[in-house]
Structure 1
């Protein structure tokens, strides 16, 4: 339905005008009982798309509030403008690196143009749900398994853009798409767990080797300092004795260095 068709939809022709006149006569004859059938109310979050003799009324949808419907020649369809969310059923997808994964998502959308959503598509909600399933399969089929696991945000944005571009002609606005869950085969999960464990062990060994290397450098520097100053070795003996003396439940035999007695022998 284009803009020109909407503006000209109020032209009902000669026969339509006659039927409209007779409908007014019927309302007047049956007044005030006819008010119960002619006056309609839609809520704040609803709009009414009115058809007169099969043609859309000019001016777009009606509401919220009270509107008037002529008997016999006019009919209307209520459209809910609130945001709707639905779960995309799990889809079995073959990724670009030949891995089968099961992915499901959740889509949030709303009706942005009630007139188009009624006139251009038979069931806008059902069409949007089916399109979301096929779009999810098409997008994830071009991704690798690692991209699906790590780049969920970019995949969600790409899916939202594609859905919004297609559903705008149905009067639907896709507000948000989220990848809900990614299920991997059991064998692949065990393989990935083994790979992660091996990678952690390799990193631990590398860190331990780096620690030993740094410790050996520090010990060499300490040995060079003690070698240049013999008194430093005596202080290190006393410091070690102080550390051992903190444990009072043991007997300590500490060798007295000969260098320490040399001064008394003189």
Structure 2
């Protein structure tokens, strides 16, 4: 109103007599990655941020707040979470976000960075509380995407864009780790026994087929004896056991 215009006029009247000394109080600079939100008599000027570069403020009536637009990352402290299947785990993560609307980040929330950190911890608990242990260990990418969507939706009125959320580590209790290791070992042993049994079954079938072939041709058994003898001799053993065919012994017994 009129009082505001009078104060602005007084500021101009103060600047003119003290020029050029007043130029150091009126001209401000923000960097390429920064923006300045100017308040004139408590109201945001022009409803848009200033910068980068030079901008002009009036002493006594104008104040400004610098806002950093670069991407900021922070670690979510380890959180003790009770999963859907009643398992207590410790989970931590990392969040990347940036301010995309400086006006909202200054006017709608008292501390955008601190509020985002606290909200990330709460969101981590809420999202992981709906997952069981198997999903938590196997579907980290889906959990990270769900957290990012929840955080982005909640921080949108604050002018914050959540770019990425990652689950860093999932720590299980020692007793649960030992139980899972024992379960995995038992599962591997069971699979090994099944594979060995299948191998024995295939071997027995192969031996049965071989016996049928040898029964049809008795000379094949003699050839197999000679082949075994050749294998033993190739190993340079001092003692050679020569298998004598049973048919020869039967002929001698019949002659007696």
State TM-score, norm by structure 1.
0.87
Q: Is the 8 A contact 2:33 2:68 kept in 1?
A: yes
Distance 1:242 1:138 in 2: 74
Instruction: Pick the aligned partner of 1:87 from 46, 71, 75.
Output: 75
The counterpart of 2:220, out of the listed 232, 242, 249, is 232
Which residue among 221, 227, 243 is the counterpart of 2:209? 221
Of 41, 52, 55, which residue of structure 2 is paired with 1:67? 55
Q: Distance in 1 between matches of 2:83 and 2:246?
A: 76
The number of residue pairs the alignment matches comes to 248
Counterpart CA distance in 2 for 1:160 and 1:206 is: 45
Following TM superposition, by how much is the alpha carbon of 1:256 offset from its aligned partner in structure 2, in angstroms?
5.1
Helix, strand or coil for the counterpart of 1:142?
Answer: coil
Q: Which 10-residue stretch deviates more, 85-94 or 117-126?
A: 85-94
1:193-238 deviation per Cα after TM superposition (whole angstroms, max 9, x unaligned):
2212111111111111111111112222222223333343333233
Which of 209, 233, 241 aligns to 1:245? It is: 233
Distance in 2 between residues matched to 1:119 and 1:224, nearest whole Å: 92
- Does residue 25 (structure 1) correspond to residue 10 (structure 2)? The answer is no
Aligned-pair CA distance for 1:89? 1.2
Query: Which among 190, 214, 218 is matched to residue 202 of structure 1?
Result: 190
The Cα shift of 1:257 comes to: 4.2
The corresponding residue for 2:130 is 142
Please give the alpha-carbon distance, in whole angstroms, between the structure 1 residues aligned to 2:212 and 2:54.
96
Q: Which runs of 4+ in 1 moved over 4 A?
A: 256-260
Matches within 5 A, 1:84-233: 84-233=72-221
Match of 2:4 among 16, 26, 37: 16
Residue 31 of structure 2 is matched in structure 1 by 43
Residues 224-260 of structure 1: CA deviation (Å, up to 9, x unaligned): 2233333433332333223222211432132354879
